[in-house]
Structure 1
Amino acid sequence: MDLPTRRHPTVLLASLLGLLALITGCGGGPSSQIRTPVSSGSQGQVGDLVIRDATFAYHGPITDAIAYRPGDTVSVQVTIINQGTITDRLVSVSSPIAAGGAVLGAGTIPAHHTLAAGYPPSVAATTLPDTTPIDLRLNTLNTAIRTGLTYPVVFTFARAGQLRLPLRVTSPDVPPAECPLPPDGKTPQIFTAPLGQAPPPPTPPPPDCSSLR
């Protein structure tokens, strides 16, 4: 299947402006800023690398809640920011729902630079300083990708190691999913109790949005 090429520059520009605010605030080193969502995509951190806006971007008709079907190739949209002082490199992208993955372009991330995948090169280059555009793909899906569900994707770096995040489809033609993405892919635990009393066990997690049962 040919990857969709129609983009919405206004939406992408808004996301990238949020990322620009994050980068310009990183001069003092890692801080609580890395926990602040800047888009509807997944986010996380491994070592000095901050991952933002990680999604399966899709622009096209949705039939029966299915965006991609078995055998399709999927483009991964993500922004990776190196907050450290040492160069790192994106080695691979993979997922149990795909036969393989591909990093098309230079995966090297110098200190205080950004790697942007899945955005129009003109938007990424003019919005974020010191940005390298690349293309990330998951090849030959073994299952359909449905709206509202998340699917695990593993980003592997030469120095920082691996980061596994739950990704979902984002489409301007589809309302946001009812199941929000927790930070770093972890289900939030809520503790409540009257003053002076021990809190009860963690509240059961919300309905499982994961595609892996």
Structure 2
Amino acid sequence: MTDKLPFYSSCDVADALLTLKVPSAGYIPDIHLWSPQYKAGNTRVFGPAYTVKMVPVEDKESPKPEQHFVDAVPEGSVVCISQPSNLVNAVWGGLMTARAKKRGALGVVVDGRVRDLNEQREMEFPVFAKATSIMGAGNFTRPTTLNVPITMQPNPNHPAVTIHPGDYIVADADGVVVIPKDLLAQVEAQCKKSTAVDDQCMAALNAGEGIAETFKKYRG
């Protein structure tokens, strides 16, 4: 793992992935930061993905995990949960956060709903999700396979993003982006290059130069 990439924002990473021709720039739209604050603050999560696939509770064919999926969270990972679309229930709550923190999880990203926001915020746990719900999971969904590739598509107008176990997640107040694990070094190098250019642009704009001339000078 690089020790530099965490200093780059989700926007920086998405720009780098666009330059590297990664489909959809790894961006998962419409998933927002809910805890510790709602789309605000300096929270930034960076770490390898631990993936969880959920299925409707009436699904009797999909396998069941050997242990509760939160008990299997690896230390230093970001929990990534794929929830079936159009369900009203949450798949992550305060009790799961309490256990995940003890396991050393860095945060959770849910393509679906979460609940117990006050508990999440009291524990200062980074929670990224599409929406909230007051309904628990038991009557609606259950986990199936763990640490297998999952897809997230919270916005039907945006291509689905596949998350492989060990891919890197960058998530902050601006959004969530997935870095394929074999591109981490390239993404870091591109972020370093592009943010240096942006710093030059910002300095020029603060000095009173116009957008057009600044972009032409530094971005070419």
User: Aligning the two structures, in what range does the TM-score lie when normalised by the shorter sequence?
Assistant: under 0.3
Flag the structure with higher strand content.
Answer: 1
Choose 1 or 2 for highest CA Rg: 2
Flag the structure with higher helix content.
Answer: 2
Instruction: Select the structure with the greater relative contact order (CA < 8 A; seq sep ≥ 6).
Output: 2
